[in-house]
Chains A and B, each alone.
Chain A
């Protein structure tokens, strides 16, 4: 008992260190690599859900709650950027996306909500960046959906899943999606910094409701470019993740 008492502080310290080390190992897929991307060849750390296609499986939309914790873009004046966001598409015919962007010719580090889309014929791209900056360490909510199945994709912005605003509508698109991706995108010749957390949902059903990113045929996967990391949040829905660069 005496020996136990003397050792107790060391044992507690060992326990904490064990927990920290174990936690790091369990939640981080560190990649000892250097940043290899440029302003035109982008890096990504993604949760990807490539569905089986509408003959088997496709859905009506996606939800991403995003918390940005830091961002810094060295070559922001040249248009370099980092984003924390979600993309939706079908058959790789155009896309719509929304989330938060830093850099992009504005400044190094402030985050702005944005949406963008390229038409299905891949001929026209339009992007809107909101002037007011989004504070770090808040979670902001983003929805891409076409509940009417009329090819008009509605983009909603919210704050902690309340205060929803219709940010935009992109028309002339597909009526369902079979590809959802979410995470960070980095465009810079030099290593930027970025750190975020995302909580995801897919939209389908009758009536439409929010579900995990997990289908009957296809599950989510993670991908990370060199010097970026992404990892599943333990005990959370599939694809809910933290990500950062550098690793």
Chain B
């Protein structure tokens, strides 16, 4: 009987040791991740992109790529204007009554960073993040905000309203009607 009690005791100790080992592993992983994270630079605080800006041909290629992703391989009346990120976003974000001042919505990107805003027409259905059960965003107008230096697609708009490109700057037509 004493031996049985000992085995039971060791079994208890074994299970407890297992649980403690698992807990230490979880806590250790979390703590290590937090420490490593604290030593890194916050995202969005890096220096703004520099170097040459995209050519209009590159802008057009990027625009057509994202139009195709939105199930419209042949958009019409594709136009582009260059301006600041904040001004471009204010033209396409569909706000009503929100603060669209440069400080709002830049999320670490400099509000004055140069971008290209491309406006396209067609039959767009955007494969976009959306709640479970919601329909894919669709519309006859697609707007695309591209970083002027890197071409990164910062903003995507799909809807029925026509962004007033002229308010951003001189407009260049890339694809005819």
A91 interface residue (CB < 8 Å to B):
no
In the complex where A40-B127, A128-B154 touch, is A15 in contact with B15 (Cβ < 8 A)? yes
A241 adjacent to chain B (CB < 8 Å): no
B107 touching A118, Cβ below 8 Å: no
Point out the residue from B6, B42, B49, B125 that lies within 8 Å of A1, measured CB to CB: B6
- The answer to whether A209 has its CB under 8 Å from any CB of chain B is no
A211 at the interface (CB under 8 A from B): no
Let me know if B97 and A151 touch, CB within 8 A. yes
Residue numbers in A under 8 Å from B38 (CB-CB): 160
Q: How far is the CA of A181 from the CA of B134 in the complex (A)?
A: 13
A80 to chain B, nearest CB (A): 7
Are A130 and B131 in contact (CB-based, < 8 A)?
A: no
User: A residues engaging B (CB < 8 A)?
Assistant: 1, 3-4, 7-8, 11-20, 23, 39-40, 42, 44, 46, 67, 78-81, 83, 85, 87, 89, 92, 95, 97, 101, 104-106, 113-119, 122-135, 137-139, 150-152, 157, 159-160, 163, 165-172, 179, 181, 185, 187, 223
Establish whether residues B95 and A19, one from each chain, have CB atoms under 8 Å apart when the complex forms.
no
- Find B6's partner among A3, A134, A157 (CB 8 Å cutoff): A3
B170 CB-CB contact with A under 8 Å: no
With an 8 A cutoff between CB atoms, is B46 at the interface? Answer: yes
- Size bin of chain B's contact surface: 35 or more
Task: Flag if B157 contacts A105 (CB, 8 Å).
Answer: no
Q: Choose among A23, A78, A79, A151 the residue with the greatest number of B CB atoms under 10 Å from its CB.
A: A79
User: Provided the pairs A39-B127, A95-B131, A163-B42 are in contact, do residues A125 and B137 lie with their beta carbons within 8 angstroms?
Assistant: yes
Would B14 and A14 count as touching, CB distance under 8 A? Answer: yes
Closest B residue by C-beta to A152: B98
Residue of B nearest to A183 (CB): B132
Query: Is B108's beta carbon under 8 Å from chain A?
Result: yes
> What are 9 A-to-B residue pairs whose CB atoms are below 8 Å?
A15-B16, A16-B14, A85-B129, A105-B69, A126-B92, A129-B155, A160-B37, A170-B95, A171-B97
B108 adjacent to A123 (CB under 8 Å): no
Cβ–Cβ contact A187 & B92, under 8 A: no
B159 near A46 with CB under 8 A, answer no
Distance in angstroms between the alpha carbons of A141 and B9 in the assembled complex: 45
Which one, A104, A123, A128, contacts B139 given CB within 8 A? Answer: A123
B19 adjacent to A19 (CB under 8 Å)? yes
Complex-state Cα separation, A163 to B40, whole angstroms: 14
Whether A160 lies near B108 (C-beta < 8 A) is no
- In the complex the two chains form, is B37's CB within 8 Å of A137's CB? yes
Instruction: Please state if B159 and A125 are interface contacts (CB–CB under 8 Å).
Output: yes
Q: Are B128 and A171 in contact (CB under 8 A)?
A: no
Please, which residues of chain A bring their CB within 8 A of the CB of B103? 166
A-contact bits for B1-21, CB 8 A (1 contact / 0 none): 011001101110111111101
B residues within 8 A CB of A185? 129-130, 132
A125 to B17 Cα, complex, angstroms: 53
Min Cβ gap B112→A in Å is 15
Bound together, the chains give a CA A211 to CA B147 distance in angstroms of: 39
